[in-house]
Structure 1
Amino acid sequence: MIKRTLLIAFCTFFICFTILAQSGTNRMNPKELNLTWEVVEEGYQNKNQTLSAITLKNTGKDPLPANGWSLYFHASPSFKANEVNAPVKIEHVNGDLLRMVPTASFSSLAAGASKRIELVSGGQMINESRAPEGFYLVWSDNPAKGYAIGESVNKKPSVNKIGWIEPAEIYEQNKVIKDIPVEKLTKVFPTPAQYTETGQNFSLTAAVPVITDNAFSREANLLADYLSTVFGQKPAVKTSGTGKAIRLQKKQGLGEEAYELQVTPQEVVISASTPAGIFYGTQSLKTLIPPSALATKQSSVTLTGVNVKDEPRFGHRAFMLDVGRNFQTKEEVLKVLDLMALYKLNVLHFHLNEDEGWRLEIPALPELTQVGSKRGHTLDDKKNLQPSYASGPDVDATSGSGYYTKDDFVEILKYADDRHIKVIPEIETPGHARAAIKSMDARYERLMKEGKKEEAEKYLLRDLNDKSVYRSVQNFNDNVMDVSLPSTYAFLEKVTDEILAMYKEAGAPIKTIHFGGDEVPPGVWEKSPSVQKLIATNPKVKNTDDLWYYYFGKVNDMLKERNLYLSGWEEIGMRKVTQNGKTTYIANPDFANENFHADVWNNLGSNIDLAYRLANAGYKVVLTNVTNMYLDLAYQKAYEEPGLNWGGYLDVDKPFYFIPYDYMKNMKVDTENNPIKPGAFAGKERLTEAGKKNIVGLQAPLWTEHIRTPERLEYMLLPKLLGLVERAWAPDPVWATETDAKKGETAYNQAWSEFVNILGKRELPRLNHYAGGFNYRIPTAGAKVENRKVVANVQLPGMEVRYTTNGSEPTKSSKLYTGPIAEKGTIKLTVFDSTGRAGRVTTVENK
């Protein structure tokens, strides 16, 4: 008995000592583990794959053990260790979360030592968006806790094997741009329907009152508030008065968003039939103010004398902001609303949930934000969601976590409504719903512990006995709601009603809710007992494909009961059929006359004409073409240029040259920026006159997988959002309908020159100060060697190019480029704006 007691005591001591040793001072502090990742070889083994290497360096005094740890990170699940007996193996956790686990071949990493590990992954490393990121360490004896490591470095490849854009290519792109004197530029942006300058200017001071019709008092006060930021004093707002004034007056017979603006030496008159029209007139007045006036407080501002008659081309001019992938603060949303209002965008499509986050407080369902709004290291997603997009191991440490309280959301709605912006909330369903599903799982578990089984099951979003196997595009295997469950519809009704209550409290209009509908993967629902029961009892549901129409039929009925119509991604209007032995998708006739509004993004491959097919079939279509409108795509094919590239590259020109009613005419390049092959549009459906009436507007979305800060958001947003602004508001340009190709090209080049001159000389300088200033992208200089000299140009006239000849990085005080550079050697050039912010460095060798 004594021996047994001693043996137990010894074993207990040994186990405790081992745990102490593993978690104590003889193993390294994770912060002392540095990591470098670099590309070794593109097109490895002559395949579409990349060989890369991770180098781990121990900068501390204690070793990284040979085992007992995992290194978590975010990347494509295609990442694998290269060697047969590699020192690590890569395991896919879920979504974009992977972990690196040491094998028997891994030896302890001593203090000061480094270890290089080769990896192979699918595809090519076009830019940093495909690189692994967000590394953190987890010790095996404490698997529920993650630790951020030290420095992580992503080394740019030294050789261009990808076909990254060269300075000479940028130079050729910019060659068509003329430098137009600022006095010859249109002073109102976006381009008005009718615009003339009179030469009779108006001197505006804080003493000039705003005299308004009673119906426009809100718009008058917003204008006066803005003018107070220019003058340091708010002009008076009155309902009557004589003398010099800004007058807001009612004029019958103008369109809903139309206005007229006259600036004479005696007064500024804005006329409209509606508050919205008056508001847009005041925004035009704001763009008449020279941008230099915003840098410091002014005593007076000269307004160009103009006569403007204006109204928008499209009634739906939308920007979509994704806050599900990465959260943006209420303050940044309000700032974006100010930007939208200035440029007359009138719809904020608010993407409020995703697999990676639920961002709106629903008081009746607290777990949605208690669990679904937070990301951090977890083994079971019960208290928070797993990290995604390099959000890190710690909850609330980054933009991976966050949500809008009910009060926040009401404030956003009021702010938007004051600026005549409709907010369309998106509740992404039935796919992209992992945050909601895990939140309702947490609710279920809480109530089951309380013995409340019926209440626990009320809002469940999955069949607990579902054995279906699937993998979404974003690599999740548990992110789709079960649409056969009554509890799924109870959940949607509860969320809808709580959202409607917030709109009512805000006094803001709501006519639709967006219910997503995209990217539900194959395999979903196939082994759900609930689904099998529905198929057996409902004659309209013969298989899992039919669940799609069943689901949106029920959601549509729920919305109609609340006097709302359904908005969604393009899949809400599509039906899966078999034609000539092949599976294909057609416009679903079942919902063609149900006032479904579909945001159609896919104009790639066989879906080039999808938007037109749906419009022709009777669906209301918002053109959201990925090739011209996806703001999260990288500006250029360059390793340092942030953004995705699966849908191509999106510089400011692509939204600008979009032709809504004939966009196949403007599709010049494929997703690799190579010229589209002849015949690519053969047999594609064109927009009919009836279909044309169903194109309700344009939308530019900004997805935020790699957008973690307001600065990055604004960089991706601007200036290319201004291309959408112009195309959604301004009249149909001559070059878009010109049948003579040469004449069309000449007209386009002139219009493009005017547009980029307006951006570079007026609107972007304005945005240096407006609403606190925006971190817009500064373009990269174009440059090439010509006649043994370096010549350079810039996409946005008004910005300056500075250069060095000694290999150093240019600064604001470097030499100003004014003509060809004769010096030999390494010439580095950078574009600067008026505040001294710089673009990427361009390097040219002049031998």
Structure 2
Amino acid sequence: MRRFIALILIAFANVGTFAAAPAFDIKNLTLSWEVVDNNYQNKQQALTALIITNNGTETLPAGGWKIYFNSSRNFLADAASGNAKILQVNGDLYSITPNQNFKAIKPGESARIDYICEDIVINYTDAIEGPYFVFDATPGKGYLPGNFIIKPLDPKYAGLVTPEVIFNQNKNITDIPADKLPKIVPLPLSYQETTGTFTIDKQVLVNVINKDQRYAKEASYLKGRLEKLLGTEVNKKDPLSSTMKIINLYYKVGFGNEGYELSVKPNAIEINASTPTGAFYGVQSLINLCPSVTGTDRPNSITIPCVEVKDSPRFPYRAVMLDVARNFQNKQQVLRLLDLMGAYKLNTLHMHLTDDEGWRIEIPSLPELTSVASKRGHTLDSKHFLPPSHGSGPDFSNKAGTGFYTVADYVEILKYANERHITVLPEIETPGHARGSIKAMQARYNRLMAAGNKAEASKYLLYDAGDQSDYRSVQYWNDNVIDVSLPSVYTYVERVVDDLVAIYKQAGAPLPAIHFGGDEVPAHVWEKSPAFAALKKTHPEIKNTGDLWYYFYGRVNSILKKKNIKLSGWEEMALRKTTVDGHNTYLPNPQFVNEGMQVDVWNNVLGDGQEDLAYKLANGGYKTVLTCVTNLYFDMATYKGWDEPGYYWGAFLGIDKFFSFIPYDYFKNADVDKQGRPIDRRIFVGKQRLTDYGKENIIGLQGALWAETVKSPQQMEYMMFPKLIALGERAWAKDPAWTTELDSAKAKKLYNDDWSRFVNVLGKRELPRLAYEGGGYAFRIPKPGVILQDGKYQANVQYPGMTIRYTTDGSEPTATSPEYTAPVNATGTVKFRVFDVKGRGGNTAQGKENDKPAA
């Protein structure tokens, strides 16, 4: 009977979702957003406008409704137009409520709401997201407008990167003939092309030369890749042929865990390695030697140069962090990422599976984690699902907002990764960034309490109902931190860990560590928690809420140690808060330094005071992964321009920032601050430098894709590729000479030569390959550089080998427009655009007939 009553209560709680639609059809509305003034009142703020246009035949009433939308920015509550109020609901969700000054919108008319954003606008990511209407009469249901338009920023606002700036950045790139380029990326430790070639055709024999067949999986992988390239089965010996071409995989000692040797001679190829991982990387280098196959027709044979390669990685940990919590990516997209991670010798996929906005992996013991926290739709109480975030809209149909991996999905991901010698590191965010799990466990509590099972209901609760602590996270949530004073929190952690262990065991995949987050816990959490007050009475060592940090991670570490799993986390996990001369500061926490924990350090924002944090932790004894926002964040915008998506709070970050990163001295070539302005090098005075001991603790690099702005598989690939190739280069290849050269002029020359080599490899080998690999990757195609000189436009491209096309009538260039081969007369409106081998174009650069020659 209690269960029946509970179901009735749930049905009434959701009644708004099924309520009849209002008389006015919101599909007849078009919403448009624009910047009115990007320097409003001579301040670093923007006056923006939301314009509502009625395309229907009925009048939109002056009130009785709200507009909800998402934004990562803050707003003044009272609309500058005086006809509405903008209030934050929670997190990035806001509401707009019309007031008595708002007028009904008749058919064919428009209304305008001007409001002030407390930041200027740089790119289209700064616009509001996912606006929808909710009527007062049906508060549980949201309605999307028929169209939402984001109007471009007026070019009059200065400070954005122009085509001329891009041209001057590109002009130092040397065009290198394709046959002079190394054929393997990342650049091997030793690479030498010798005399002759080897031809791969259907007769080639892939062979494992060791009795125990320890490299049989790698040989099978190679055979499959060659068959895909040729479009036919290999290992077919022609009885009429007098020659036999063989690829042998040998087990030999002395190459280390991931090292290999590749020898290509005219009639035989040898791959020597001491481990299956090393053999796999030898196979990847052999595949990389093969020229890209474009189009659908498969060649009868592929010719590769004879080479001698000896190779091993610089860093043992080479990772990609993929956030699927903020916006979800399906299983197939993760498999596509794993393919390229294997190709470019990256060995760890860090899956950010949980956050405030979503929980993305099935935990069979706790079904609410996905039945509640994997869904986003219109709700103000989060009792049955989470609210819209990052523009996911009012219902579950948005695939970026709603979704999770079943156990079967995740097992498939693990097996696929294992075949490519990639470890999948799961991240379960705690104690902050945990709103999804908190609300899911509250839903579980409500369900079991309604069934009369109080003891079971309380077993996994993550917050204290009596906690009156007032806080706001960096992302504006006020209820997203787990109360670590509760005993039930550790029951929950152990339950989640046990289910993860079972999933990895089912997949036959290693689980050496679990990442438990730890970043961005706001001030004032737990201060008014009854559970915290009770804990202090029984634990005299806990004197303030700061001490809960070490209590929590000490207990989590103990849970993991019992299962032979290492604790991994963000930098805050390894820090202890203290004071120096009365000022708050953070130092490496001696309590955990010998526990084998691994910390990922992201915070080195130039000018914010923590530039040396990674070096402090490494010098202090912590195994440190550099995930530096200045150089290794995929989600930062490539440059300061309207047409480049992404955040930029930490840096503007093009592929050159990945390539130019100096892990052991990233101060050395830091040239601009987070706004793209020339750096004031005084910020490095007094900062810790990396000691020789500290170098031993830098175990690797990690590129991070936070997904607030990533709404589709195509957007994911645009943000990650080809930057991921530069990440692989810097994590695997030896330290380049330009990183340690003391003469600045020589260092600059060495860097420019190396940069030219790399971008030529991208433009002439790797990107043509990726245009067709796996059906084609949506990698970012660079915007062309354009400059006006002597009445003509000159154009260039960041990746030599790509094609620039143009038009002179103001139309958008297409794959059939004239190819740029010489300067173009500056008459009419001239547009330039870069295309890949498949005919896919990038962003357009435009010149106008009233441009003046450069001085």
Give the TM bin, normalised by the shorter chain: over 0.9
**Partner Cα distance (2:801, 2:164) in 1:** 21
Shift of 1:81: 5.6
Task: Name the counterpart of 2:216.
Answer: 217
Q: Is 2:515 aligned against 1:514?
A: yes
- State how 1:322-333 maps to structure 2 within 5 Å: 322-333=323-334
**Partner Cα distance (2:399, 2:251) in 1:** 49
**Partner Cα distance (1:83, 1:489) in 2:** 46
Contact residue 204 and residue 236 of structure 2 kept, 8 A: no
State the identity as a percent: 52
Shift of 1:808: 1.5
Indicate the SS of the match to 1:177.
coil
Shift of 1:630: 0.4
Indicate the SS of the match to 1:451.
coil
| Cα shift readout 1:38-86 (whole Å, capped 9, x = no counterpart) | 1000121111210011111111111111211111111246223655772
Task: Name the counterpart of 1:173.
Answer: 169
Task: Name the counterpart of 2:366.
Answer: 365
* TM-score w.r.t. length of structure 1: 0.95
Q: Is 2:702 aligned against 1:706?
A: no
Task: Name the counterpart of 1:626.
Answer: 629
Task: Name the counterpart of 2:151.
Answer: 155
Contact residue 790 and residue 821 of structure 1 kept, 8 A: yes
Task: Name the counterpart of 2:76.
Answer: 80
Task: Name the counterpart of 1:228.
Answer: 227
**Partner Cα distance (2:63, 2:383) in 1:** 28
- State how 1:671-710 maps to structure 2 within 5 Å: 671-710=674-713
Q: Write the letter of the residue equivalent to 1:137.
A: F
Task: Name the counterpart of 2:479.
Answer: 478
**Partner Cα distance (1:546, 1:376) in 2:** 37
* TM-score w.r.t. length of structure 2: 0.95
Indicate the SS of the match to 2:824.
coil
Q: Write the letter of the residue equivalent to 1:452.
A: N
| Cα shift readout 1:623-650 (whole Å, capped 9, x = no counterpart) | 0000100000111111111111101111
**Partner Cα distance (1:140, 1:278) in 2:** 64
**Range 801-810 or range 434-443, more displaced:** 801-810
Task: Name the counterpart of 2:530.
Answer: 529
Indicate the SS of the match to 2:203.
coil
Q: Write the letter of the residue equivalent to 2:414.
A: L
- Consecutive unaligned residues in structure 1, runs of 5 or more: 1-18
Indicate the SS of the match to 1:590.
coil
Shift of 1:224: 0.9
Contact residue 807 and residue 828 of structure 1 kept, 8 A: yes
Shift of 1:24: 7.2
Q: Is 2:33 aligned against 1:30?
A: no
**Partner Cα distance (2:647, 2:21) in 1:** 42
Shift of 1:269: 0.9
Partner of residue 88 from structure 2, selected from 87, 92, 116: 92
**Partner Cα distance (1:289, 1:84) in 2:** 61
Q: Is 2:661 aligned against 1:658?
A: yes
Indicate the SS of the match to 1:481.
coil
**Partner Cα distance (1:295, 1:269) in 2:** 30
Shift of 1:448: 0.2
Contact residue 81 and residue 118 of structure 1 kept, 8 A: no
**Partner Cα distance (1:802, 1:85) in 2:** 44
- 1:193–1:534: structure 2 CA closer, same or farther, 3 Å change rule? same
- 1:84–1:804: structure 2 CA closer, same or farther, 3 Å change rule? closer
- State how 1:193-204 maps to structure 2 within 5 Å: 193-204=189-200
Indicate the SS of the match to 2:196.
coil
Contact residue 78 and residue 85 of structure 2 kept, 8 A: no
Shift of 1:139: 0.8
- Consecutive unaligned residues in structure 2, runs of 5 or more: 1-15, 851-855
**Partner Cα distance (2:78, 2:827) in 1:** 44
Partner of residue 756 from structure 2, selected from 753, 756, 760: 753
- State how 1:245-284 maps to structure 2 within 5 Å: 245-284=246-285
Shift of 1:547: 0.6
Indicate the SS of the match to 2:683.
coil
Shift of 1:771: 2.3
Q: Write the letter of the residue equivalent to 2:371.
A: Q
Shift of 1:396: 3.5
**Partner Cα distance (1:122, 1:421) in 2:** 43
**Partner Cα distance (1:119, 1:84) in 2:** 5
**Partner Cα distance (2:614, 2:693) in 1:** 13
Shift of 1:295: 4.7
Task: Name the counterpart of 2:319.
Answer: 318
Q: Write the letter of the residue equivalent to 1:617.
A: G
Indicate the SS of the match to 2:216.
helix
Task: Name the counterpart of 1:729.
Answer: 732
| Cα shift readout 1:765-822 (whole Å, capped 9, x = no counterpart) | 1111222220000000001112222111100000011111222211122221112223
Shift of 1:823: 4.0
Indicate the SS of the match to 1:260.
strand
Indicate the SS of the match to 1:269.
strand
Q: Is 2:419 aligned against 1:418?
A: yes
**Partner Cα distance (2:351, 2:660) in 1:** 26
Task: Name the counterpart of 1:303.
Answer: 304
Indicate the SS of the match to 1:200.
strand
Q: Write the letter of the residue equivalent to 2:557.
A: N
Task: Name the counterpart of 2:439.
Answer: 438
- State how 1:421-570 maps to structure 2 within 5 Å: 421-570=422-571
- 1:114–1:618: structure 2 CA closer, same or farther, 3 Å change rule? same
Q: Is 2:385 aligned against 1:384?
A: yes
Shift of 1:394: 0.9
Indicate the SS of the match to 1:152.
strand
Q: Write the letter of the residue equivalent to 1:711.
A: Q
**Partner Cα distance (2:80, 2:301) in 1:** 75
Task: Name the counterpart of 1:45.
Answer: 41
Contact residue 788 and residue 846 of structure 1 kept, 8 A: no
Task: Name the counterpart of 1:11.
Answer: none
Indicate the SS of the match to 1:664.
coil
Task: Name the counterpart of 2:12.
Answer: none
- 1:709–1:341: structure 2 CA closer, same or farther, 3 Å change rule? same
Task: Name the counterpart of 1:809.
Answer: 812
Task: Name the counterpart of 2:672.
Answer: 669
Task: Name the counterpart of 2:10.
Answer: none
Task: Name the counterpart of 1:353.
Answer: 354
Shift of 1:722: 1.1
Partner of residue 164 from structure 1, selected from 160, 185, 195: 160
Contact residue 230 and residue 296 of structure 1 kept, 8 A: no
Q: Write the letter of the residue equivalent to 2:68.
A: Y
Task: Name the counterpart of 2:743.
Answer: 740
Task: Name the counterpart of 2:841.
Answer: 838
| Cα shift readout 1:651-677 (whole Å, capped 9, x = no counterpart) | 110010000111111211111111111
Indicate the SS of the match to 1:285.
helix
Indicate the SS of the match to 1:262.
strand
Task: Name the counterpart of 1:139.
Answer: 135
Contact residue 734 and residue 747 of structure 1 kept, 8 A: yes
Indicate the SS of the match to 2:318.
strand
Partner of residue 108 from structure 2, selected from 88, 108, 112: 112
Contact residue 28 and residue 61 of structure 1 kept, 8 A: no
Indicate the SS of the match to 1:291.
coil
Indicate the SS of the match to 1:99.
strand
**Partner Cα distance (2:73, 2:647) in 1:** 17
**Partner Cα distance (2:301, 2:825) in 1:** 45
- 1:701–1:438: structure 2 CA closer, same or farther, 3 Å change rule? same
Shift of 1:23: 6.9
Shift of 1:398: 2.7
Contact residue 82 and residue 118 of structure 1 kept, 8 A: no
| Cα shift readout 1:530-571 (whole Å, capped 9, x = no counterpart) | 011112221111000111111111111111111111110000
